[in-house]
Amino acid sequence: MDAQWLAMPILQQLNSGVLVLSTDYHICFYNQFIERRLGVPLAEVRHKSVFDVFTDLPEAWLKRKLDSVVALNAPVFSSWEQRPYVLKLPHLRPISNVSDYMIQNCSMLPLLHPHTGETFVCLLIEDATDVSLYQQELQRNMQALQQANRMDGLTQVFNRSYWEQLLNAEILRARRYHQPLSLILFDLDKFKQLNDIYGHQGGDYVLVELSAFIQSLLRESDLLGRYGGEEFGIILPNTGLQGASEVAKRICRQVAAHPLHYQQQDIRATISLGVAELNPHRQQDVHDLVQCADLALYLSKREGRNRSTSYRDELRHYLQKITESAH
C-alpha cells in the first residue's frame, strides 16, 4: 500500500494540535485540532504572523524558544507545570472542567523541507487539562491530609504532636534571633464535675466552645494547641513574661465572664493558667519550658483556680516547702 496518502488524514484527525511556523514566525499550517478550536480557517491566516493571530502569546518567550530550535536544530519543550498553555484554546469539556482554557504540553520541533532545505518549526500541542486537574486534586487532598494530621479532631486547634513541633521550632528561632518567647498552659477547672453534670457531650461542647473563644482572643502569631484532655497550651512568640502574663490574665477574666449556652442552660466555666518565659541563659528544651509553665499552672490550681500564675525560680522553693509541710 502506498502510505503517502495517510499523512494528511491522520494529521487532520490527530488528537493533538500541529502548528507549523516559518523561521520568521509566520503561520504555514495548522491542523483541524487547532482550526476547530480557534474557529478560524487556516486559509484566512496563512502567512500571517503567529503573534497577530494568537494575540495572547508571550512574544519574547516564544521567540527565544523558536530561535533556539532553529539555531540548534534541536527540540525545545514547554510543560504545563511551568506555563499552563502556549496557545489560548478552549478545551472540549466546558461543563465538567474547571479550567477556562486547554492546559497544554508543547514540543517545538525543527523541520527541514526535503527539497528546499528551508527550516520550519512544528509546535505539537498536547491537551494536559485532565492531568492538571488530577494534579490539583491530589495537591488539595494532600493539603487536607496534612491539615487533618495537625489538628485536634474535636476542638480544631493544633494537636499535641504538631503543637510540640511548633514549640520546638519557636524555641530554636527565639534562641537564634535573641527574641523572647513565652508559653501559657491552661486547664479547664473542675472538668470532671462538668462532665458529671452535663454529660460527656456537654463536656465536649465546653472544650469546643472555649477553644474557639480563646482562639478568637489571640494574635495571629500565637499558637494554640490541645495538650491533652482538658489541658491546652499557647505559644507566644516574641513575647516576654510580663506581656504573656497580661495575656493570660485577660484570657482568664474573659473566659470567666463568657457564659456558654448548652441546652437552655448557662455553663460558667473557668480556667487556671501557668505562664513561663524561655530563659535565654539556660539551654531549655520543650520539656523544660513546659515543666515550668506546668508548675505555675499547678500553683494556680492550688491557690483556688480561676487565676494565672507566672513562673519564677522561687516558686520551686515555695512548692518544695508546701509539699514538705503536707507530709
Q: Is 119 in the site for another protein (CB under 8 A)?
A: no
SS3 28: strand
Q: Answer yes or no whether residue 92 interacts with another protein by CB under 8 A.
A: no
- Is 217:273 a contact under the CB 8 Å cutoff? no
Distance of closest approach, residue 131 Cβ to another protein, in angstroms: 13
Q: Among the options 230, 231, 277, 324, which is catalytic?
A: 230
Question: What is the size of the binding site for another protein (CB under 8 A)?
Answer: 17
Q: Which of 24, 313 has the CB closer to another protein? A: 24
| Contact status: 78 vs another protein (CB under 8 A) | yes
CB of 262 to another protein, least distance (A): 49
Q: Which of 6, 8, 10, 79 binds another protein (CB under 8 A)?
A: 79
Q: State yes or no: is 81 an active-site residue.
A: no
CB of 64 to another protein, least distance (A): 6
* Residue 82 binds another protein (CB under 8 A): yes
Taking the complex as a whole, the smallest distance from the CB of residue 76 to another protein amounts, in Å, to 6
For residue 214, give the nearest of 241, 261, 252 by alpha carbon. 252
> With left for phi above 0 and alpha for psi between -120 and 50, is residue 137 left, alpha or beta?
alpha
Instruction: Provide CB contacts within 8 A for 306, sequence distance 6+.
Output: 189, 252, 256, 270, 271, 272
- 49 bridge partner residues: 26
| Residues 45-74 contacting another protein, CB under 8 A | 64-65, 68, 71-74
Query: And the C-alpha cell for 146?
Result: 496534612
Output the DSSP codes for 232-280. Answer: EEEEEET--HHHHHHHHHHHHHHHHT--EEETTEEE---EEEEEEE--T
Which residues does the annotation mark as catalytic? Answer: 230
Binding site for another protein (CB under 8 A): 64-65, 68, 71-79, 81-83, 105, 107
